[in-house]
Structures are given as structure tokens and as C-alpha cells.
Amino acid sequence: MIKLDEITFWYDGEAEPTLADVNLQLDEGELALVAGRTGSGKSTLLGLFNGLVPHFTGGTLAGDVLLDGESIIGRPPRELVHLVGYVAQDPLSGFVADVVEEELAYGMEQLGLEPQTMRRRVEETLDLLGIAHLRNRAIRSLSGGQQQRVAIGAVLTMHPRVLVLDEPTSALDPTAAEDVLATIARLVDDLALTVVLAEHRMERVVPFADRLVIVEEHRVRSGDPAELIATSPVAPPLIQLGKLAGWSPLPLSVREARRKAKNFILENPPAVSEKTYPPALAAKKINVHYGQFVAVKDVDLTVGKGEILALMGRNGSGKSSLLWAIQGTGDRASGTVNVDGADPAKLRPNEARMLVGLVPQTAADLLYLETVDRECAAADSQAGAEAGTCRKILDRLAPGIDGDRHPRDLSEGQKLALVLAVVLSAEPHVVALDEPTRGLDYPGKVALAEILGELAATGHGVIISSHDVEFVASVADSIMVMAEGEVVSSGRAQAVLAESPAFAPQVSKVLGSKWLTVAQVGDALRRGGAQ
């Protein structure tokens, strides 16, 4: 149906190709999951399907891309939108209209379709995606999951043969992510749509995938997920658990894993920590208003020295607004914040940065210099840190990034890693991170967890706002769950995660509430705690 034939691609100025000798064929009605390390070339591979690469990226392309046997090389992306639909990592950046119905119709207007045809397709798409009730809503008023469905709908109205999705669930809460993936699976089953999907949070996608495509060391290999997942450089916790337990074949879903775990009895579960922490940051009665809308309502938050606190909840629950209010830059209608006797909102930016360092969701907003090396040097200078500090942190999160590269040319995961390194180089009293794993692969998450653990061990407070259940389970001491701007649940991580169907990690779903992570299972096995 769609075929990449002997594709090799170089970005301008690069010594090696990003992709070399790629051969890949996808059939009609197939869902292909693209996996690989951060910066391996996944987004580049996706951009080949609709001409974004090299039309907008530049570079040199050799080989051919065939759709139903016809070459689409050289055709600009605007001529392919009715054949290959593309949804980027951040759907909000791609919207051109203000209202849902107008956004769904925009692409068809550019194709010059008849008004009657446009109206029919809009109605069909609204019903197919379950968003008819949103037709007159302002796009910016929608939740992340709703925006993702609108973005998918905007390309579906043009009846493409192939749908390409880059990290469609990376910014979504677990429930919204499940909704979007269920929608994608229905499109594959009901419309025989071919879907190519890149996703770092593989645990939610693997059960749906017909084909696994691994991008590694400039090459691409593809095949049955059950076969390839065992040798993939990135793998979800369920696969890691299966390898530890010696299960064969490896389970791709929680249901399969639970069946295999019936005779897998673990002893000596990890103890639930009751450690208390001296306060690093205390926020009282925080309120954030946007006009008449109340984003945060009377929230109290305390994080201790050496404590990692995770904020969780649905998209739009107020987590990001709370972080910005604490950091001092964001709007704060009322409330107080105390970090070592000072309120960051009352200090100059450089001084506030030493108290609370915040990594925002759109991490690239903090990058303003022309090379990675200059960003790192500036970070070290502003923080008064030893030269090379920022670079050392960056190499742990995303190794191998050329210091001469422009930060804007990095992958999303690499940009995030760079911003994390910039903020962490200052060693602020409290580190606040808003969706810090977006774009990071599993090894990158492990490295980030180690760094946050080291910060906590040296007395820093850490606050994380995240939808990444697996990451939160691996690092958090405490969890605070928000909804509609208020705190609805809080407590030790073990209790909050295990008691929630939405937030329970894969290991808990398989082995029970006493277990959260693969690392805990590995420790028990090393201590002889299995029968």
C-alpha cells in the first residue's frame, strides 16, 4: 500500500545519514508502531510519508516513497493531504481555526470540495470520533484529549489513505490516552485505515499494534511486535517484567501477563516508607484565576527537603497553573509561597531561579542561543556552576548530541533533555517539572529518575506534574491528585497509585498493589523472594 524503497536521508551539515537503506512496506488497515531511542530518527521517518521531509526540513533524500505503486517523491505536502494525513506532537500548534467545526472543514475548503460534501464529511467525522457535542466549542477551551481527537478529525475529513501520528498520547492523562488509542483502533478496524504511530509510552500502544518498526543506528527493522519487542532498544515495563520472570513468549498486554503470573509468587514486597521531611517549600491557599475561570482553588502544597512529590490528574485539572504560581512567574490571585523564608514571586528572575527551577511543558521556550554548547555554557555561568556541569547532565539524559547543533534542530526529546540540564545545573532548592518525560525514551526516563533521586538525596525538594504513570511510580514519594483546580486525593505514592484504576502502573495491574515497578520485582528476585 505504502512503501519506502531504499531510503537514505541526510540533514544538511551532518556527517552521517539520519536514515540509511530503509525498506518498509505497510499494508492497508495496518497499525504500525514506530519505536526507538530519543533522537534516533523516528520523527524524520514519519515525515517521509507525506513529504514534510525534506520539503520543510531540508536535507538530501535518496530512494523512493510509493503509494499504491506510484511515487510521491517531490510532491509538496499540500498535494498529499488527501492521501496521507499527518498529526504532529503538539496538535494545538497546527490548528488554523478557532472553532472545532471550522477546523474540521478547513482542509476540505483548501481542496475545493463542494459545500454539501464538506457538510456530510464533517458530520460523519464528528460522529466517528464522538465529538459532535464539541462542534461549536473554541479549540483552546478543549482538554488535551479532545484537541487530539479534533486534530485527527481535521485530517480524516479529507479521507486520507494513511494516517501518521507523532506522539499522540504524550501530553494526555491515562484516561484521555486510552480514549484516543481506542479511536485510532476503531479507525483501523472499521475503515481499514493504515496508521503509522510513533510513541515513547509504548505500554499503551503495543497491544493494538500489528507491526513494530524499530529505528536504531540509522537503520529500520520491522516485523511482528511479539517477536521484535524482545530485542527492541526500548521496551515498556510489561516486557521488562516478562524478561525478569522468564516468560516466553513475552506478554504484550496486562491480560496476557496476569495469566502468566498465576504461578509467579513474589515474597518480601518493598516496605512502604513512612519517612518525614523538613519543609523545602510551603504553599498556602493558592488561587489562580483566568478571567472568570478558576484554575486553582485554595490549594495547600508542601514538599520536603529530599522529597519527590508528583501532581497528577486529568488534562485541565490545574496542575500546570499551580506550578507556575509556585514558581512565581505565573498568575497568582492569592496565596503565599515560602522557600527558605522567601517568596519567589517577589524576587528577580535569576534569584527566583535559584529557589524554584521550573521546566515547562513547552521546554523549547527556554532555549534562545544558537548552539547546544552555548546554551550549556550560559547555564553554567548564570548558575555559578563549574564549567561542563550542564553538559554532563545533558549527556546522561540524551547522550551524543553534537554541541554545534542549533537547539531548534533537535528532536523534541533532545530539546527537553537540554532544558532539563539547563535548569538542573543551577541546583535550585526546589525543582519543578511539568511533564518532564514528554519525548523521552525509557533509558532517558531512567537517567532522569537517577538525577532527581540524587537531587532529593542532597536535600532538594522535587515537584513533578506528570501523566506518565510508570515514571511517577518509579520516582515519587508522595502524590497529590487534582481535579477542577482542587486537591481530591493525596498520600504516599504506594497507596494513591495502587488504589486508582486510572493511575495504577502495569506491574501493579499484574502482581497486585504491593508492587509498583520492575525494579522492585528485580530486587525481590535477587533476594530470593520468588516461588
* Model pLDDT for residues 6-16, shown as the tens digit of each residue: 999 999 888 89
pLDDT tens digits along 330-342: 889 999 999 989 9
Check: CATH 1.10.167.10 for 2-234? no
Assigned C-alpha cell, 431: 525543582
Q: Do domains 2-234 and 279-363+428-500 have the same CATH topology?
A: yes
The CATH homologous superfamily of the domain defined by 279-363+428-500: P-loop containing nucleotide triphosphate hydrolases (3.40.50.300)
Overall average pLDDT of the 225-247 stretch: 92
Q: How confident is the model at residue 80 (pLDDT cuts 50, 70, 90)?
A: confident
pLDDT tens digits along 252-284: 999 999 999 988 888 888 877 778 899 999 999
Residue pair 355/329 in contact (Cβ under 8 Å)? The answer is no
Assigned C-alpha cell, 44: 524524520
CB neighbours of 353 closer than 8 A, spacing ≥ 6? 382, 423, 426, 428
Assigned C-alpha cell, 112: 475545493
Residue pair 471/416 in contact (Cβ under 8 Å)? The answer is no
pLDDT tens digits along 167-216: 888 778 888 888 888 888 888 998 899 999 998 889 889 989 999 999 99
Cα–Cα distances in angstroms (integers) from residue 180 to residues 83, 127, 153, in the given order: 21, 14, 11
Assigned C-alpha cell, 328: 512565581
> pTM (2 decimals)?
0.85
Domain ranges for the chain, please list them. Answer: 2-234, 279-363+428-500
Percent of the chain with pLDDT over 70: 99
Q: What is the pLDDT of residue 275?
A: 82
- Dist. CA 167–CA 413, nearest whole Å: 11
Residue 146 in this model has a pLDDT that exceeds 70: yes
Residue 239 in this model has a pLDDT that exceeds 80: yes
